[in-house]
Structure 1
Amino acid sequence: MLKTVSGNHDLYLRFKGSGSDKLFNLQSLAFIDTTPPTSIQETGSNNIPDKFILEQNYPNPFNPSTVIGYQLSVGGYVQLKVYDILGREVAILVDEFKFPGVYSLTFDACKLSSGIYFYQLKAGSFISTKKMIFLK
């Protein structure tokens, strides 16, 4: 909720759509109405999660792609990487700042060999690893 306040303040907005999330620095804001808003309330399912979660991919086993979901309770630098059974990094899926929220992405493994892979999410002090199986 955003209440009317006096003085100068930085305001950051999150725009969702197709493609990746981006951070926009708003240089100026003009209200068309002569009365500024007194509050903004979020509705729907866009609420901020209360904890970090790395979900099990689906489908699993998969061929050639799978969906990986995760939730962030606070914003920060996030890494999501895929490793082979020997611990070698085979893909970097996320390596950037993310806002708090619920995310999912599709991992396409068509260039990899069949086998067991691990995907790991690092966000602040949160680290979680899960196993997935790719069958050609």
Structure 2
Amino acid sequence: MRPELGEFSSIVCFKAIVTGAEEALGEKAAMITLIAAGRHRGKQLAEQLGIVGKGTSHADLVPLLQKALGKDGTRLCIIDKIEQVDATIKVYCRETICSAGEPEGSPRKLTFTLGAIQGVIEQVMGERLRGKQTESVLRGSTHDVIEFEVLG
């Protein structure tokens, strides 16, 4: 890594990447790209944590992700809870990098954050998932909530 600056950058720079990608590619293509980049990062993280294919329970996964992605890790977000209801996995996040600095009522959706969490969970479960954001702190919720369902 960088000897003086270390491994972290600012939210301002991350947001510039997001808006620049949206301007260059269009909103939908940028969203697909950022989710894919997040999934790639999530897969790397699962390997680093040694949880690929382990079927780690949601309860055991939360503290691992809190440490890796929260204030003692990369500071991507704080994950408070992961629950499964039938075939749907719900992840409750706050202070996500994707929502940071956005005005109240903003239509901004989680992209990189959604992808990163998806990548980890896919690696743990060994199954491909489809994710969507169902609640947002920008639109009155206490958490950014992502729901995942297993594909095919």
- Using the size of structure 2 for normalisation, the TM-score is 0.27
Higher strand share: 1
Query: Could you say which structure has the greater relative contact order, defined with CA pairs below 8 angstroms and 6 or more residues apart?
Result: 2
TM-score, structure 1 length as denominator?
A: 0.29
Higher helix share: 2
Instruction: Specify the structure having the higher radius of gyration (Cα).
Output: 1
